[in-house]
Structure 1
Amino acid sequence: MQYFAAEDGVIKTSYNLDLELDRTLEKSILLVRAFSMSDDRSGTATVTVYVQDVNEHAPLCVPPVIVLTVPETTEVGRSLGTLRCFDVDVSNQNVTLTLIENSFSLFKFRLQDGQLQVNNSLDYDVADVTNFQYEATILATDSGTPPLTTEVRVLITVTPVNEFDPLFLGPLVISVPENTRRGSVIASISAVDRDWPFNSLRYSILEGEEQFSLDPIRGQLYLGVDLDFEVQEQHELKVKAVDFDQDVDKTKQRTGMAEITIMVENVNDNAPVCDPVSYESTIFSTLASNSPIVTLTCTDRDGDRLTATITSGAAVDRFQLTGLTLLSRNVFSFVPDGVYDDTDYEITISVSDGKHSTSVVAYIYVIPWTTTKPTTTTTTTTKNPAVVTVINEFWDPQPWFVAALTVTGALLLLLLSLPLWIKLFRYPTPTLTQ
């Protein structure tokens, strides 16, 4: 019994008329009888009651909150789930869904036929760090008057995926002076990784670890041996970079490798080497000027150009150097009553590469040969000019030799005449007798 009539004729409801619970309440036909207490008469009337629906319930949505975790590689158009909304009101069962995004998640998602879909790239590696969790609201609106709405919160967390291999940056060829001290930092090895968090890398050496060491975090390359350009001009080093903490699965790591070439720069760190370090030469005094006497045998491990300089005082004026060859500066003189040169020379020569030097000693012995000043005759023709030099040599003994020869001749003559004198004085001259 939904209705009752009071004595005053007012029809009232017996309980709440909820059409959502009982759809039969939409139309009720009541038969109402009225009684006359004075004359015992009555009358009846038919009353039809129509119950009008009122928009009293907001839409109900399943699920009431959307919480999702998706990888950054989720493709555009991928469905993330379906939202179902309905209205229990009898006359307001049409529900409209509207996606309302905040400033961070704008255009990242879309609604299509109740499905929440990816509308734009969720790339973890280009988004701002605050964008790894997106928030949005789905507004469900019924068709009642006034319309009622229900909000469904959407929370979507994007997880990283390790997509890219580390890539080494140049230069991959490094020049290092050979006199670099062991333990010095000779380079900083650097690689990049496009996955976020960016450049989370660890470095290591695959080949060449006995010669170099590598800081696993900063990538600083340390020299572990003494370099020698003359022994080895370059070293090959293979390194790798491994990323970490760039995927939900920590075991998913990517590796990049590179070959580093260490070029050893030549440094003048070796003195010239001469073998032998002393020379002896015997020459005649008539040796023409600028004639080679001794050629030094010297080398430099650094390959630098060598120069030689006479450092002994007396020899500087008597000899000269062309390259590593020792020459006489002029003819030696042993002319009587003239300049009489020395016959023995000790020459100290310094051989330099521009930074380091080595000393060499040359002993020159001169055999005197007395000569006069050469005469020169020049014959010239107009057709074919030529110079003819005629040198007349003759014996010009020294005075002591002439004196010795004279004394020797006199003694020889005396010896030859001695027997005759003895014979003459031993036998007396006979006398004539009468």
Structure 2
Amino acid sequence: MIFCCSPSIQSLSLLLTSTHLHLHTRPSKILFTGVGVFVGLDAKPRFELQPARDFDSGINSIRSYKLNPNEHFDLELRDSGEGDTIPFLILQKALDREQETKHSLLLTALDGGNPPGTGTLNITVTVLDANDNQPVCSQDVYSVTLQENADIGRFVVRVNATDADHGSNGVVEYTLGRNLKRRVHDIFLLDRITGAIKVKGPVDFEENEMYSLNVQASDKGQPPLTTDCRVIVKIQDVNDNRPQIEVTSLSNTVSEDSKPGTVISLISVTDQDSDINGKVISSITENVPFELKPSYKDNVYSIVTKGRLDREFVSHYDITITATDCGQPPLSTFKTLSVQISDVNDNSPEFSQNPLELYLVENNAPGASIFSVSATDKDLNENAAISYYIVRGEGTQNDMASFLNINSDNGHISALKSFDFEILKTFQFQVVATDSGTPLLSVEEIPRNVNAGHLVTKVRAYDADIGYNGWLLFSLQEVTDHSLFALDRYTGQIRTLRSFTETDEAEHNLVILVKDNGNVSLSATATVIIKVVEPKEAFVASDVKSSVKDEEENSVTFYLIITLGSVSALFLVSIIVLIVMQCSKPTDYSSKNLQDVNYDGTLCHSIQYRSGDKRYMLVGPRMSIGSTIVPGSNGNTLVLPEHRRRASGEVRAVSKH
């Protein structure tokens, strides 16, 4: 490095880097002249100082130099070869600008006089900066918490790094690590100069609960030095997700005879939030006969019936499921399930008026309509499709039923004969309305004052099989009170076990099961509804019958005597003809020539004399075992193969002139 000098030297200023010194001189008694440079760069750096000059000569000239003691510099003297001594400043220990930026030295030159003369030189060494320090972050790891859905531009954290170097060597810049995922660069923005990190894009806890950012701090030295620090951003959950309701299974049609506890749907409820924000409370509409039951799995529920259903009362339900989380503020989700109640044959046809009384003008035209009955059924479709028939059987009240016909579809009743007021003034018959539903349902009414052993009704069933396969056994499948009724397993008769009390229910349901004895047993069911009524209600119809009984007997006696005589004469003629035919048969006639005919021995009509009642009665046709309508004397016989319910109505016909 070039330095300047003057005739006298008093001080020297050096700007020292690893290879250079800058010297500035001022006048002194002993003068330093020349050029000083660093030499020996491969060993200890040394700086040649200008030698001092003394105007004396000989022994009084410059003899030696000395340097004030210090830890960094030392003095080395060399002979110039011309009798002069040249001082060298040697760097003994490395300099550190960050510890000490300047060093002050004092160089003294001594001559050989007595006393010796001296000259001093003040040397100031200024240490220049080198990029020997890398940036240092204030923390190795920065950990912060950030709420999801934070606004764009929201300040997150500031990374702070310092560099002990000077100038551009100490200026620090910040960048995000290159190995970070693209998503991190889309969410966070790092200020290159200040090190501040801000929100750049949407933050979603459900997408990622934590982000780890690698930040590099670099200075502007040549070459630059770099350090790394890590920023961990924990995302705090916010209640920003509503619960989700998923219906995994649904029976949108439920039978009205479903028992309580029947499962109609399975649902699962989820919430993407965490902790308390993800805890969900579920419920359903209160005014429906359904309830929500939790499963063994969390947030899985079943919807079950909690009471009996009645389609005739409510045929459709909208069940609203509500799922609400426990966040603040809470969020809710609603889902509505539509459930249709399907019909079962649980209602019997009903006549609007029972009994009915009609007036018939005598001498009516045979085959003409005399009256029309109508019944209604609360059920649907085939369960409400009604057909009508007239009960025909034994008993005075049914004598005239044989002369009546009813249209099974519309209930129009027509007379097959012309009635005469002078012969018949009044008669009664019973019309039964039956629906087409399954299973069969019968409604019976009995007075409350009956005793134990009273015959309520008889369940009659038929099986087309023969032998052991056609042997039928009856049993009670369901009964509301086992202490009240008993069923004969062989005959199907239902009888009371005891008398009724005031605490007994007024209506009882009995489900009858009948099975055959085949290898694979087949079965059918029927439901009997027994209504217990007060005695006056039960016998009102029988009182009406008794009041007209005498009139009936008197009016038909003459007619029956004539009919009996005619039939008796016909019977005698038939016997005579049969005897003649038997006598005229060939001797080789055998029974094998007889044709095998299917004949059940019934006549279209027959006359029967009942000695107990001292009267004759006209008996209608017997029905074969395979028939769908089986005659009965009291209208309380239930026939299983029909699989239909019926309602009976009593009609009282009064002849008029």
Task: Indicate the TM-score class for this superposition, using the shorter chain for normalisation.
Answer: 0.5 to 0.7
Is residue 140 of structure 1 aligned with residue 221 of structure 2?
Answer: no
| Displacement after TM superposition at 1:141 (Å) | 0.8
Instruction: Rate the CA distance shift 1:188–1:35 in 2: closer, same or farther, 3 A.
Output: farther
Residue deviations 1:242-298 (CA, integer Å, cap 9, x gap): 224xxxxx6664344567775544443212134667778786774224422343342
- Decide whether aligned partners of structure 1 residues 272 and 348 sit closer, same or farther in structure 2, where only a CA change above 3 A counts: closer
Equivalent positions of 1:83-162 (< 5 A) are 83-91=159-167, 92-100=169-177, 101-102=180-181, 105-112=184-191, 113-125=194-206, 131-162=208-239
Q: Deviation per CA, 1:317-352, whole angstroms, max 9, x where unpaired?
A: 962416443433754599xxxxxxxx9896764522
Structure 1 contact 289–327 (Cα < 8 Å) conserved: no
What is the alpha-carbon distance in structure 2 between the residues aligned to residue 255 and residue 291 of structure 1? 71
Q: Deviations over 1:157-205 (max 9, x none)?
A: 1111002444667999965432222111223456665646897522124
Equivalent-residue separation in structure 1 for 2:278 and 2:259 (angstroms): 31
CA pair 167-290 structure 1, distance change in 2 beyond 3 A: farther
Matched residue, 1:202 = 281
What TM-score does the superposition give when structure 2 sets the normalisation length? 0.44
**1:229 corresponds to 2:517:** no
Query: What is the DSSP-based 3-state SS (H/G/I as helix, E as strand, rest coil) of the residue aligned with 1:182?
Result: coil
- Structure 1: how far apart are the matches of 2:209 and 2:89? 63
Could you tell me which residue of structure 2 aligns to residue 357 of structure 1? 645
Aligned partners of 1:177 and 1:266 also within 8 Å: yes
Q: Do 1:208 and 1:237's aligned partners in 2 also have CA atoms closer than 8 Å?
A: no
Q: Aligned equivalents of 2:651 and 2:135: distance in 1?
A: 119
Aligned to 1:412: none
Distance 1:207 1:282 in 2: 55
Structure 1 residue 242 corresponds to structure 2 residue 324:
yes
2:414 pairs with 1:328: yes
Distance of aligned partners of 1:213 and 1:107 in 2 relative to their CA distance in 1, 3 Å threshold: closer
Match of 1:3 in 2: 73
The alpha-carbon distance between structure 1 residues 111 and 294, as it changes in their structure 2 partners (threshold 3 A), is: same
Corresponding position of 1:401: none
Counterpart amino acid of 1:358? R
Looking at structure 2, the residues matched to 262 and 344 of structure 1 have their Cα atoms a distance apart, in angstroms, of: 51
Residue type at the aligned position of 1:204: S
Cα shift at 1:58: 0.8
The equivalent residue for 1:187 is 265
1:354 positional shift: 3.8
CA contact under 8 A between 2:389 and 2:408: conserved in structure 1? no
Q: How far is the alpha carbon of 1:68 from its aligned partner?
A: 0.8
- Matches of 2:121 and 2:268, distance apart in 1: 98
Matched residues in 2 for 1:47 and 1:366: separation?
A: 155
Question: CA separation of 1:329/1:297 partners in 2, compared to 1, >3 Å: closer, same or farther?
Answer: closer
CA distance in structure 2 between the partners assigned to 1:358 and 1:243 by the alignment = 54
Once residues 252 and 344 of structure 1 are traced to their aligned partners in structure 2, the CA distance between those partners, rounded to angstroms, is 80
Counterpart Cα distance in 2 of 1:363 and 1:259 = 51
Cα distance in structure 2, aligned partners of 1:208 and 1:34: 119
Matches within 5 A, 1:27-426: 31=107, 33=109, 51-91=127-167, 92-100=169-177, 101-102=180-181, 105-112=184-191, 113-125=194-206, 131-166=208-243, 176-188=254-266, 193=271, 195=273, 200-205=279-284, 207-208=286-287, 212-215=291-294, 217-234=299-316, 239-244=321-326, 253-256=330-333, 264-274=341-351, 286-302=363-379, 304-309=384-389, 312=392, 319-321=405-407, 323-328=409-414, 330-331=416-417, 349-355=432-438, 356-358=644-646, 360=648
Q: Is the 8 A contact 1:70 1:157 kept in 2?
A: yes
Cα RMSD between the aligned structures? Answer: 4.7
How big is the shift at 1:228?
1.1
TM-score of the pair, normalised by structure 1: 0.63
SS at match of 1:105: helix
Task: Give how far 1:102 is off.
Answer: 3.7
Matched to 2:304, the amino acid is: Y
Report the Cα offset of residue 224 of structure 1: 0.6
Check whether the contact 2:209–2:235 (CA below 8 A) recurs between aligned residues: yes
Q: Distance in 2 between matches of 1:32 and 1:311?
A: 155
Structure 1: gaps (5+ residues): 245-249, 335-342, 370-434
Task: Please report how far the alpha carbon of residue 140 of structure 1 lies from its aligned counterpart in structure 2 after TM superposition.
Answer: 0.7
**Equivalent residue of 2:185, what SS?**
coil
Q: Which moved more, 1:10-19 or 1:84-93?
A: 10-19
Summarize the Cα distance change of 1:365–1:79 in structure 2 as closer, same or farther, 3 Å threshold: closer
Per the TM alignment, residue 143 of structure 1 is displaced from its structure 2 partner at its CA by 1.9
Separation in 2, partners of 1:46, 1:199? 79
Distance change in 2, residues 1:363/1:135 (3 Å):
closer
1:98-118 deviations in Å (ceiling 9; x for gaps): 112345523221112321111
CA-CA distance at 1:54 after TM superposition: 3.0
Unaligned runs of 5+ in 2: 1-70, 79-86, 394-399, 421-425, 439-643
Which deviates further from its counterpart, 313-322 or 131-140? 313-322
Aligned to 1:18: 96
1:173 and 1:263 in contact (8 A); partners too: no
Aligned-pair CA distance for 1:82 = 2.2
One-letter amino acid of the counterpart of residue 120, structure 1: G
Q: 1:330 to 1:208 in 2, by over 3 A?
A: closer
Contact kept? 1:311, 1:350, Cα under 8 Å: no
Once the 2 structures are TM-superposed, how far is the Cα of residue 20 of structure 1 from its aligned partner? 0.5
Cα distance, 1:134 vs structure 2: 0.5
Instruction: Provide the rounded CA distance (Å) in 2 between the counterparts of 1:179 and 1:20.
Output: 95
Contact 2:255–2:342, Cα closer than 8 Å, also in 1: yes
